[in-house]
Amino acid sequence: MIILGIDPGTATTGFGVIKVEKGLAPVCLAYDCILTDKGDSPAERLLSLQEGLLYVMKKHKPHVAGVEKLYFSKNVKTGMAVSEARGVILLSTARFKLPVHEFTPSQVKMAVTGNGAASKIQVQRMVKEILQLEEIPKPDDAADALACAIACSLHLKVH
Protein backbone atom coordinates (compact mmCIF):
# COMPACT_ATOMS: atom_id res chain seq x y z
CA MET A 1 0.00 0.00 0.00
CA ILE A 2 1.27 3.45 -0.87
CA ILE A 3 0.40 6.18 1.63
CA LEU A 4 0.68 9.92 1.07
CA GLY A 5 1.19 12.00 4.20
CA ILE A 6 0.43 15.71 4.07
CA ASP A 7 1.36 18.50 6.48
CA PRO A 8 -0.82 21.45 5.36
CA GLY A 9 0.39 25.00 4.98
CA THR A 10 -0.16 27.96 2.71
CA ALA A 11 3.46 28.89 2.00
CA THR A 12 4.81 25.37 2.55
CA THR A 13 2.93 22.09 2.39
CA GLY A 14 4.99 19.06 3.30
CA PHE A 15 4.37 15.72 1.67
CA GLY A 16 5.78 12.28 2.28
CA VAL A 17 5.13 9.05 0.41
CA ILE A 18 5.72 5.65 1.98
CA LYS A 19 5.13 2.10 0.87
CA VAL A 20 3.93 -0.38 3.47
CA GLU A 21 3.51 -4.13 3.09
CA LYS A 22 2.44 -6.60 5.76
CA GLY A 23 5.42 -7.98 7.64
CA LEU A 24 7.92 -5.52 6.14
CA ALA A 25 9.31 -2.25 7.39
CA PRO A 26 7.79 0.82 5.73
CA VAL A 27 9.84 2.28 2.89
CA CYS A 28 10.17 5.97 2.11
CA LEU A 29 9.47 6.62 -1.58
CA ALA A 30 9.65 10.42 -1.58
CA TYR A 31 9.34 13.53 0.54
CA ASP A 32 9.54 17.24 -0.10
CA CYS A 33 7.50 20.43 0.13
CA ILE A 34 5.18 22.23 -2.21
CA LEU A 35 6.10 25.90 -1.98
CA THR A 36 3.93 28.79 -3.07
CA ASP A 37 5.15 32.22 -4.06
CA LYS A 38 4.59 34.99 -1.49
CA GLY A 39 4.09 37.46 -4.33
CA ASP A 40 1.11 35.56 -5.72
CA SER A 41 -2.47 36.29 -4.75
CA PRO A 42 -4.09 33.93 -2.22
CA ALA A 43 -6.08 32.31 -5.04
CA GLU A 44 -2.94 31.75 -7.13
CA ARG A 45 -1.16 30.24 -4.14
CA LEU A 46 -4.02 27.78 -3.58
CA LEU A 47 -3.98 26.88 -7.29
CA SER A 48 -0.21 26.24 -7.09
CA LEU A 49 -0.80 24.01 -4.09
CA GLN A 50 -3.46 22.04 -5.94
CA GLU A 51 -1.27 21.62 -9.02
CA GLY A 52 1.63 20.44 -6.85
CA LEU A 53 -0.53 17.92 -4.99
CA LEU A 54 -2.06 16.54 -8.18
CA TYR A 55 1.43 16.12 -9.63
CA VAL A 56 2.59 14.19 -6.54
CA MET A 57 -0.53 11.99 -6.60
CA LYS A 58 -0.21 11.23 -10.32
CA LYS A 59 3.48 10.42 -9.93
CA HIS A 60 3.23 8.17 -6.85
CA LYS A 61 -0.34 6.82 -7.20
CA PRO A 62 -1.09 6.54 -3.47
CA HIS A 63 -3.91 4.33 -2.23
CA VAL A 64 -4.72 6.51 0.80
CA ALA A 65 -3.72 9.82 2.38
CA GLY A 66 -3.04 10.84 5.95
CA VAL A 67 -3.57 14.56 6.54
CA GLU A 68 -2.71 16.49 9.66
CA LYS A 69 -5.69 18.25 11.20
CA LEU A 70 -5.52 21.96 11.79
CA TYR A 71 -4.50 23.07 15.24
CA PHE A 72 -4.13 26.69 16.22
CA SER A 73 -4.78 28.56 19.40
CA LYS A 74 -3.46 32.08 18.98
CA ASN A 75 -2.98 33.22 15.39
CA VAL A 76 -6.42 33.15 13.78
CA LYS A 77 -5.12 34.76 10.56
CA THR A 78 -2.60 31.95 10.04
CA GLY A 79 -5.22 29.39 11.01
CA MET A 80 -7.62 30.69 8.38
CA ALA A 81 -4.96 30.51 5.65
CA VAL A 82 -4.04 26.95 6.65
CA SER A 83 -7.76 26.08 6.65
CA GLU A 84 -7.95 27.27 3.05
CA ALA A 85 -4.93 25.11 2.19
CA ARG A 86 -6.58 22.11 3.89
CA GLY A 87 -9.67 22.73 1.77
CA VAL A 88 -7.54 22.53 -1.38
CA ILE A 89 -5.84 19.38 -0.05
CA LEU A 90 -9.18 17.68 0.66
CA LEU A 91 -10.55 18.77 -2.73
CA SER A 92 -7.43 17.45 -4.49
CA THR A 93 -7.58 14.09 -2.73
CA ALA A 94 -11.30 13.83 -3.56
CA ARG A 95 -10.57 14.63 -7.20
CA PHE A 96 -8.04 11.78 -7.14
CA LYS A 97 -10.64 9.56 -5.35
CA LEU A 98 -8.19 9.08 -2.52
CA PRO A 99 -9.54 8.06 0.91
CA VAL A 100 -8.33 10.49 3.59
CA HIS A 101 -7.63 9.84 7.26
CA GLU A 102 -7.08 12.90 9.43
CA PHE A 103 -4.88 13.06 12.52
CA THR A 104 -4.26 15.71 15.14
CA PRO A 105 -0.64 16.64 15.80
CA SER A 106 -0.76 14.77 19.13
CA GLN A 107 -2.15 11.64 17.40
CA VAL A 108 0.75 11.74 14.91
CA LYS A 109 3.27 12.19 17.74
CA MET A 110 1.69 9.33 19.69
CA ALA A 111 1.77 7.01 16.68
CA VAL A 112 5.39 7.74 15.83
CA THR A 113 6.96 8.10 19.30
CA GLY A 114 4.45 6.68 21.78
CA ASN A 115 4.17 10.13 23.38
CA GLY A 116 1.48 12.59 22.28
CA ALA A 117 3.53 15.48 23.65
CA ALA A 118 6.82 14.50 21.97
CA SER A 119 9.09 17.26 20.72
CA LYS A 120 9.60 17.96 17.04
CA ILE A 121 13.14 16.52 17.18
CA GLN A 122 11.89 13.31 18.86
CA VAL A 123 9.36 12.84 16.05
CA GLN A 124 12.00 13.53 13.41
CA ARG A 125 14.42 11.03 14.95
CA MET A 126 11.73 8.34 15.08
CA VAL A 127 10.73 9.02 11.45
CA LYS A 128 14.40 8.54 10.51
CA GLU A 129 14.55 5.26 12.46
CA ILE A 130 11.20 3.84 11.33
CA LEU A 131 11.95 4.53 7.66
CA GLN A 132 15.63 3.57 8.03
CA LEU A 133 16.80 6.85 6.52
CA GLU A 134 20.42 7.96 6.68
CA GLU A 135 19.49 11.36 8.10
CA ILE A 136 16.54 13.25 9.51
CA PRO A 137 14.31 14.36 6.63
CA LYS A 138 14.41 18.08 5.90
CA PRO A 139 12.65 20.46 5.83
CA ASP A 140 10.54 20.02 8.97
CA ASP A 141 7.26 20.10 7.01
CA ALA A 142 8.37 17.10 4.95
CA ALA A 143 9.38 15.20 8.11
CA ASP A 144 5.97 16.00 9.62
CA ALA A 145 4.28 14.70 6.47
CA LEU A 146 6.23 11.42 6.67
CA ALA A 147 5.18 11.14 10.32
CA CYS A 148 1.57 11.60 9.23
CA ALA A 149 1.97 8.85 6.62
CA ILE A 150 3.42 6.53 9.30
CA ALA A 151 0.50 7.37 11.63
CA CYS A 152 -1.89 6.52 8.82
CA SER A 153 -0.20 3.17 8.20
CA LEU A 154 -0.49 2.29 11.89
CA HIS A 155 -4.11 3.43 11.99
CA LEU A 156 -4.88 1.17 9.02
CA LYS A 157 -2.86 -1.68 10.55
CA VAL A 158 -0.98 -2.42 7.34
CA HIS A 159 2.34 -3.31 9.01
Active-site residue set: 7, 68, 141
Dihedral angle computed from the Cα positions of residues 93, 4, 156 and 113, in that order, rounded to the nearest 10 degrees: -130
User: What string of DSSP letters covers 18-52?
Assistant: EE--TTS--EEEEEEEEE--TTS-HHHHHHHHHHH
Dihedral angle computed from the Cα positions of residues 106, 111, 1 and 22, in that order, rounded to the nearest 10 degrees: -170
Task: Give the pairing of strands 100-103 and 12-19.
Answer: unpaired
